[in-house]
Structure 1
Amino acid sequence: MDNTEIADLTQHLQQLNFPSGFSGEIVFEFTVNKGRVQRVVLDEETSNLKDAIVVEKIKRSLLLWRVSSSTTGKVILNLHLHV
């Protein structure tokens, strides 16, 4: 992913609202194929924030995110949350 796509993803995820009291790191792995996110998986070994509500909300948001149709590949996304 290029810097523009990373900035777009950051802005996309910043629109999510979470209840206060959450902090930690969440790591997701997913595939982008022709601009569409597929198979979002939580890396449970690396993540220390595993609240099901937070994880599902981020997963759904990632699946809705669209990038350039030429973007294809595997992505590892590290999120540091402090709400």
Structure 2
Amino acid sequence: MSELKTLVDTKSEVFAENAVRFGDLTEELREHSAGARRGGGEKAQRRHKERGKLPVRERIERLLDPGTAFLELSPLAAFGMYDGRVPAAGIVTG
């Protein structure tokens, strides 16, 4: 297998700064994704359960065979819109 050559200097100061910034952005993305997975928050989850309903991701989990992976598409759809009140644009697709 041939080796891909690069001109990137992984020992440079710029590379180190970019690596730190990328790490920060990655953590921010994880936090926002986790927020979307929580749905409308604790209050909304409680309301669903009081009405005898399951949150959408729990419903999906019950539909899937055990051990089957589910790749959620667009968990950050509508991110930053509607004052953050519509996680995943109100839909879950995968």
* Fold equivalence (TM over 0.5): no
- Mark the structure with the bigger radius of gyration: 2
Q: Which has the higher strand share?
A: 1
Q: TM-score, normalization: structure 1? A: 0.24
Q: Which has the higher helix share?
A: 2
Q: TM-score, normalization: structure 2? A: 0.22
Higher relative contact order (CA 8 A, sep 6+): 1
